[in-house]
């Protein structure tokens, strides 16, 4: 998952500069030649790397370089890195697990900041998790302690931060149902914000964090219930097996490209025709995979990208696909579904460009 926040540049962007600390402890910017691997510098104790290949940091394996990249392990480091970027008017992307991300072939001319905040704490029937913890790690941690309630998320890719931001859901469950509290860092105000679950503005694959694009999720407090560890592991395994069977996991992908279509957005006439395919997720929806399948687009390719024959709401990277290959197929799917059903599909994919 990813957040973009753009600051007005008072001087030219940091496109040709990097960080350097002077002998006196002050800071200035010095030109650096790009293209050299493993080039990095420190400032205020924060490591900044240059020209980092973003294709290695997302599930698609697609995309160009980030001019600058930095990983931070807590709110203090995040604040320092953001403050430095703001001083130079840098555009900033906040990178999570990279599981629903399409990075432009040209890359990103700014700072990509990755909050690698990883901790897990059990407090009675609640678990507090850092934003950088993977959903898989959260499920393992909870099951070991006899805490249940998130088994539906078995096999869900990505991090806790990304799952909260996009209100990830599957099999009728959603993260919003378990969130007690979320801590975030407000990039504009430069302070920490604490929100209750109700204050997070959760909606279908949405939240206040996704709408405003100006906060970095730091951690989440998650409500659980007592359960049996073996039962939890079995339920988690069932969901993982289901995904392996039904989803094209043999190719790099970023999950569903489009949201399922809410039944209330479909005309009464069309509802009658689609009635037998309606499912609850978590409210009545028509699966977008069905709509795409009915257009005959299964298996259609563009360059190295393909609309999966196994699950057509996935566009997979079969042969070193480019971002433009994927974009072409997204446009094609939206056009054909609209032409056949009169439905405007809503995308789940986030872009870095």
- The dihedrals phi and psi of 325, each to the nearest 5 degrees, come to -60, -45
Tokens 């407000």: give the residue.
186
Name 308's bridge partners: none
> Any catalytic annotation for residue 215?
no
Catalytic residue among 137, 181, 294, 348: 348
Between the two ends of the chain, the Cα-to-Cα distance in Å is 14
Distance CA 217, CA 28 (A): 30
DSSP state string for 207-239 = -HHHHH--EEEEEEEEE-EE--HHHHHHHHHHH
Catalytic residue among 256, 308, 322, 327: 256
Q: Which residue among the candidates 151, 205, 207, 215 is catalytic per the annotation? A: 205
> Per residue in 260-272, is it b (16+ CB within 10 Å) or e — as a string?
bbebeebeeebee
Active site (annotated) includes residue 230 = no
How big, in percent rounded to 5, are the helix, strand and coil portions of the chain?
30, 30, 35
Identify whether 205 is a catalytic site residue.
Answer: yes
> How do 126-130 and 215-223 pair as beta strands?
antiparallel
Give burial (CB, 10 Å; 0-12/13-18/19+) of 207.
Answer: buried
Question: Catalytic residue positions?
Answer: 205, 256, 348
């Amino acid at each position: 998952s990813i957040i973009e926040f753009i600051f007005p540049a008072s001087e030219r962007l940091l496109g040709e500069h990097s960080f350097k600390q002077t002998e006196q402890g002050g800071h200035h910017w010095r030109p650096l030649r790009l293209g050299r691997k493993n080039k990095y510098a420190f400032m205020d104790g924060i490591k900044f790397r240059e020209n980092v290949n973003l294709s290695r940091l997302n599930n698609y394996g697609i995309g160009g370089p980030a001019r600058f990249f930095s990983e931070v392990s807590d709110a203090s480091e995040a604040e320092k890195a953001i403050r430095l970027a703001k001083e130079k008017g840098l555009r900033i992307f906040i990178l999570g697990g990279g599981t629903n991300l399409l990075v432009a072939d040209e890359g990103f001319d700014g700072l990509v900041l990755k909050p690698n905040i990883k901790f897990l704490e059990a407090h009675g029937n609640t678990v507090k998790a850092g934003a950088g913890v993977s959903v898989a790690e959260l499920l393992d941690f909870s099951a070991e302690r006899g805490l249940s309630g998130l088994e539906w998320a078995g096999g869900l890719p990505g991090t806790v931060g990304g799952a909260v931001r996009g209100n990830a859901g599957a099999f009728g469950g959603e993260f919003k149902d378990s969130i007690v509290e979320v801590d975030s860092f407000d990039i504009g105000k430069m302070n920490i914000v604490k929100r209750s679950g109700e204050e997070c503005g959760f909606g279908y694959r949405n939240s206040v964090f996704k709408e405003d694009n100006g906060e970095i999720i730091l951690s989440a407090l998650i409500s659980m219930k007592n359960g049996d560890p073996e039962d939890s592991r079995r339920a988690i395994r069932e969901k993982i097996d289901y995904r392996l069977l039904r989803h094209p996991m043999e190719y790099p992908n970023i999950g569903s490209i489009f949201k399922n279509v809410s039944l209330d957005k479909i005309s009464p006439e069309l509802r009658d025709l689609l009635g037998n395919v309606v499912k609850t997720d978590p409210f009545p929806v028509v699966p977008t995979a069905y709509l795409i399948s009915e257009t005959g687009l299964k298996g259609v390719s563009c360059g190295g990208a393909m609309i999966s024959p196994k699950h057509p709401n996935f566009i997979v990277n079969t042969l070193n696909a480019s971002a433009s290959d994927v974009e072409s197929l997204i446009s094609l799917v939206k056009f054909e579904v609209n032409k056949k059903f009169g439905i405007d599909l809503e995308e789940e994919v986030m872009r870095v460009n």
